[in-house]
Chain A
Amino acid sequence: MTRKQRRMTIIGGSLAVLALAAALVLNALRDSIVFFSTPSMVAEKHVEPGKRFRLGGLVQPGSLQRGDNLAVTFEVADGNAKLPVAYKGILPDLFREGQGVVAEGALDANGVFKADTVLAKHDETYMPKEVADALKKQGHWKDDYGAKPGVTAQGDPKGAVR
């Protein structure tokens, strides 16, 4: 083989692998990504039952009900709309009423969001970014939701101790 032929072999092989990878990526992007919605977006868009998405918002205070065998129901609200959520399993350590939450799952025929994963915020001042952005957009943002330790402590440290 000449130098040129060898190089063409390598380049041809590389292009084949890249084409394969591109096909895989495009295929996966079509089928396996999950969109994020808030309860009011769900109400506007009429998401069809069975389609997976991530639901984010605040856990409506007073809505948490525990059933038998670790079944729980609660409502996720974003100020304009509420959506009932059903989940079976152990809620994360940081799950609280009135706090931010992101759940992944799909709507059932009755309009209840059946979650198979519930993610709660990471510490007491952190809120999932999607939830914070969505709340800001709708004008329900309160500054103390997002009080980050890094921001408060430079001013008055005592104010940051709650």
Chain B
Amino acid sequence: MIAESGHYALVLALALALIQSIVPLIGARLNDAALMNVARSTALAQLLFVGASFIALVTLHVASDFSVANVYENSHSMKPLIYKITGVWGNHEGSMLLWVSILALFGGLVALFGNNLPLSLRAHVLSVQAWVASAFYLFILMTSNPFLRIANPPIEGRDLNPVLQDIGLAVHPPMLYLGYVGFSISFSFAIAALMEGRIDAAWARWVRPWTLMAWIFLTLGIAMGSYWAYYELGWGGWWFWDPVENASLMPWLAGTALLHSALVMEKRNALKVWTILLSILTFSLSLLGTFLVRSGVLTSVHAFASDPTRGVFILLILCVFIGGSLSLYAARASSLKQGGLFAPISREGALVLNNLFLTTACATVLVGTLYPLGLEVLTHEKISVGAPFFNLTFGPLFVPLLIAVPFGPMLAWKRGDLLGAAQRLMAAGIGALLVLALVWAWARGGSALAAPAIALAVFVILGSLTDLVERAGLFRVPFATALSRARGLPRSVWGTAFAHAGLGVALIGIVCETTWNSEYIGTMKPEDVAKVAGYELKLDGLLQRQGPNFREMIAQFEVFSDGDKVSVMAPSKRSFSTRGSSTTEAALLTRGASQLYVSLGDVTSEGAIAVRIYHKPLVLLIWWGPVLMAFGGMLSLSDRRLRVGAPKPARAQQRLQPAE
């Protein structure tokens, strides 16, 4: 019954989405408020029904109802409860259901908090949202129904892929989807603006918080996924330039650009046409990501479900939405009014530069991701484009961007003073040079590029702090005054500083980990000692243990530093009998921001065990950086000016803005 109810609820959600796609638009044409208001009720009802459908699937998984194909294929009665729940989206069908649920959630939020939007804009936005939703409901119902029954129910399920039986699965996909799908809001607003042929600063004030929210989730989602891969895959890699990772990085890059261009639009009423295009592109890249991951066109560690009919269907959705929105853009963009003027050296100019580099970097990732696919279709030649390609293209493009980051917030709107900004950044520059000298003097081995890269990161961090110091007047006015000024600064200023500093922090982590990573790979017998980066690891012994749905072999290590026992580490190897596969559970020992990383290989015939031990200096900064960025985003989101649903400023105030 539950499966059928869930299926039925999904069909009802589709019907509601179809109504929502058409009726409000007719209302907008006829200027009929009642018809336009239909969008609000249908959006909320849609959320209710998709939510019910999703809960139905969760219930089936928790109850281990193996008469449902999806549960049978991805669950096991002995699996711990948390993995029964997360297993819902650890497969193709369930993850698509999560995708549309989140889409409906965002639609519902717009309906709920959109009371102060112009009525016709809200009607248009929710309609566009419903087109996307309808397409994906159809996709699920026609090609990926999670509620299919099996005629002769088996007694036991096939279990979830062991690699996915981890807390990472509970956090990473929902976060990532909140980010991916969150960009649908700015897409819908962009299409609505094009259809209405009207766009103003109020539009940007509306779009920015939604984009920011999506961006925060996507940032955390990507960072979480990277950390998950780092500890789960057993060899300490945290970014593989895998097409699936690129699929999430591209919307992030475009979304970051969008965030900054929406700022220009909100404050200066400029870059309108570009902001609209970026909104379309960002969500298009999210759709492309969904296509790459869900259609199985890629060979990659992430592709855990694939079926060609699905690929063609998503490709169709992709073509219709990207093609349609870009055609609409081409037809209508010229009718949007020109925005404000600015000199090349100005805050706007800096943000344009940011957009230029971010979108170009995004384009190089796109080329690197799609080139092998295109080449295979055209010439049947198979190639792989890996880290070397991206290091050679993405890296050089990010260097000028990072140098420019501290300058941006220092420049005034309209006409900036580059020399003045440079003078104020003098201290940050000197700090960076000092770090450069220190690293050069102290560092042994590694790439010659490491020291300049760390200096650049320090420049970004100090530069971001300089902006706060300057604004608070620290060192110029009495300390108490500076403190109260700092407290009075808009939260978005703090947010900017944190987000920019996060970039620098992540860069330090990346450089240190890749340059001064030390490793020991070899076989060890009990009582053997391995030495890595000043630590001594003694293998105490091996023991076997029975888990809920696996057996594991644990190796006990004692860790010594300068002869003192620091800790014990117990990496293990788990074998899952249902799928006949095994996973490596690495042991991590955190010391400051650095980590010791131990993972196991096979047992050799002489009873020794293959062991990989890494020392990864400052590796945690790689993920603290994105967390700082997301924290900055949240600060900015909590700024009064940007609060979701903040009332529009009075008309009189708008008129007071300087005329262009």
Residue pair B364, A24 in contact (C-beta under 8 Å)? yes
Q: Is A143 at the interface (CB under 8 A from chain B)?
A: no
A70 touching B522 in the complex, CB below 8 Å, given contacts A21-B360, A24-B397: yes
A17 touching B357 in the complex, CB below 8 Å, given contacts A90-B521, A150-B307: yes
Residue pair A31, B601 in contact (C-beta under 8 Å)? no
Q: Is A44 at the interface (CB under 8 A from chain B)?
A: no
Q: Measured between alpha carbons, how far is A122 from B154 in the docked complex, in Å?
A: 25
Contacting A at CB under 8 A, from B335-391, are: 341-344, 352-353, 356-357, 360-361, 363-364, 367-368, 371-372, 381-386, 388-389
Residue pair A25, B364 in contact (C-beta under 8 Å)? yes
The binding surface of chain B is classed by DSSP as mixed
Q: Measured between alpha carbons, how far is A94 from B581 in the docked complex, in Å?
A: 7
Q: Measured between alpha carbons, how far is A54 from B393 in the docked complex, in Å?
A: 22
A122 touching B301 in the complex, CB below 8 Å, given contacts A6-B342, A13-B356, A17-B356: yes
A154 touching B69 in the complex, CB below 8 Å, given contacts A9-B344, A17-B360: yes
Residue pair B610, A90 in contact (C-beta under 8 Å)? yes
Q: Measured between alpha carbons, how far is A91 from B573 in the docked complex, in Å?
A: 13
Produce 1/0 per residue, B550-562, CB < 8 A to A. Answer: 0000000000000
Residue pair B602, A21 in contact (C-beta under 8 Å)? no
Q: Measured between alpha carbons, how far is A70 from B581 in the docked complex, in Å?
A: 22
Q: Measured between alpha carbons, how far is A54 from B372 in the docked complex, in Å?
A: 14
A29 touching B389 in the complex, CB below 8 Å, given contacts A13-B356, A34-B384, A35-B381: yes
Residue pair B581, A25 in contact (C-beta under 8 Å)? no
Q: Is B55 at the interface (CB under 8 A from chain A)?
A: no
Produce 1/0 per residue, A23-42, CB < 8 A to B. Answer: 01101110111111000000
Q: Is B636 at the interface (CB under 8 A from chain A)?
A: no
- Identify B92's interface contact among A34, A93, A150, CB under 8 A: A150
Produce 1/0 per residue, A47-70, CB < 8 A to B. Answer: 000000010000000000010011
- B523 neighbours in A (Cβ, 8 Å): 69-70
B298 CB to nearest chain A CB (Å): 8
- Identify A128's interface contact among B163, B299, B385, B392, CB under 8 A: B299
Residue pair B579, A124 in contact (C-beta under 8 Å)? yes
Interface residues on A, range: 35 or more
- Identify A124's interface contact among B234, B383, B386, B581, CB under 8 A: B581
Q: Measured between alpha carbons, how far is A93 from B304 in the docked complex, in Å?
A: 17
- A13 neighbours in B (Cβ, 8 Å): 344, 353, 356
Residue pair B521, A70 in contact (C-beta under 8 Å)? yes
Produce 1/0 per residue, A83-111, CB < 8 A to B. Answer: 00000011101100000000010000000
Interface residues on B, range: 35 or more
- A140 neighbours in B (Cβ, 8 Å): none
Q: Measured between alpha carbons, how far is A151 from B158 in the docked complex, in Å?
A: 14
- B392 neighbours in A (Cβ, 8 Å): 24, 27-28, 31-32
B429 CB to nearest chain A CB (Å): 23
Contacting A at CB under 8 A, from B579-634, are: 579-584, 601-602, 604-605, 610, 612
Residue pair A89, B367 in contact (C-beta under 8 Å)? no
- A17 neighbours in B (Cβ, 8 Å): 356-357, 360, 397
- Identify A153's interface contact among B72, B235, B579, CB under 8 A: B72
Q: Measured between alpha carbons, how far is A124 from B581 in the docked complex, in Å?
A: 7
- Identify B344's interface contact among A10, A20, A27, A154, CB under 8 A: A10
- A6 neighbours in B (Cβ, 8 Å): 341-344
Q: Measured between alpha carbons, how far is A130 from B152 in the docked complex, in Å?
A: 35
- B299 neighbours in A (Cβ, 8 Å): 128-130
Q: Is A160 at the interface (CB under 8 A from chain B)?
A: yes
Q: Is A80 at the interface (CB under 8 A from chain B)?
A: no
- A3 neighbours in B (Cβ, 8 Å): 341
A25 touching B154 in the complex, CB below 8 Å, given contacts A31-B392, A90-B612, A153-B72: no
Q: Is B305 at the interface (CB under 8 A from chain A)?
A: yes
- A130 neighbours in B (Cβ, 8 Å): 299, 382
Residue pair B383, A153 in contact (C-beta under 8 Å)? no
Q: Is A142 at the interface (CB under 8 A from chain B)?
A: no
A14 touching B356 in the complex, CB below 8 Å, given contacts A1-B343, A33-B383, A157-B152: yes
- B161 neighbours in A (Cβ, 8 Å): 122-123
Residue pair A160, B158 in contact (C-beta under 8 Å)? yes
Residue pair A36, B384 in contact (C-beta under 8 Å)? yes
Contacting A at CB under 8 A, from B272-326, are: 298-299, 301, 303-307
CB-based nearest B residue for A154: B69
Q: Measured between alpha carbons, how far is A157 from B154 in the docked complex, in Å?
A: 7
Q: Is B540 at the interface (CB under 8 A from chain A)?
A: no
Q: Measured between alpha carbons, how far is A150 from B145 in the docked complex, in Å?
A: 12
Q: Is B396 at the interface (CB under 8 A from chain A)?
A: yes
Residue pair A150, B584 in contact (C-beta under 8 Å)? no
Residue pair B158, A149 in contact (C-beta under 8 Å)? yes
Q: Measured between alpha carbons, how far is A40 from B307 in the docked complex, in Å?
A: 29
Residue pair B579, A35 in contact (C-beta under 8 Å)? no
A100 CB to nearest chain B CB (Å): 11
Q: Is A18 at the interface (CB under 8 A from chain B)?
A: yes
- A35 neighbours in B (Cβ, 8 Å): 381-383
A123 touching B581 in the complex, CB below 8 Å, given contacts A6-B342, A33-B389, A154-B148: yes
Q: Is A136 at the interface (CB under 8 A from chain B)?
A: no
CB-based nearest B residue for A158: B154
Q: Is B150 at the interface (CB under 8 A from chain A)?
A: yes
Q: Measured between alpha carbons, how far is A54 from B386 in the docked complex, in Å?
A: 12
Q: Measured between alpha carbons, how far is A115 from B161 in the docked complex, in Å?
A: 27
Q: Is B73 at the interface (CB under 8 A from chain A)?
A: yes
- B604 neighbours in A (Cβ, 8 Å): 66
A34 touching B579 in the complex, CB below 8 Å, given contacts A18-B360, A21-B364: no
B607 CB to nearest chain A CB (Å): 13
Q: Measured between alpha carbons, how far is A149 from B70 in the docked complex, in Å?
A: 10
Residue pair B69, A153 in contact (C-beta under 8 Å)? yes
Q: Measured between alpha carbons, how far is A151 from B305 in the docked complex, in Å?
A: 10
A106 CB to nearest chain B CB (Å): 14
A and B contact pairs by CB, cutoff 8 A, 18 listed: A1-B343, A6-B341, A9-B344, A10-B344, A24-B364, A24-B393, A24-B397, A33-B383, A66-B604, A70-B610, A122-B303, A122-B304, A148-B307, A150-B73, A150-B305, A150-B306, A153-B69, A154-B148
* A-B complex: 8 closest residue pairs judged by Cβ atoms: A90-B601, A32-B388, A36-B382, A28-B392, A129-B299, A24-B393, A21-B360, A32-B389
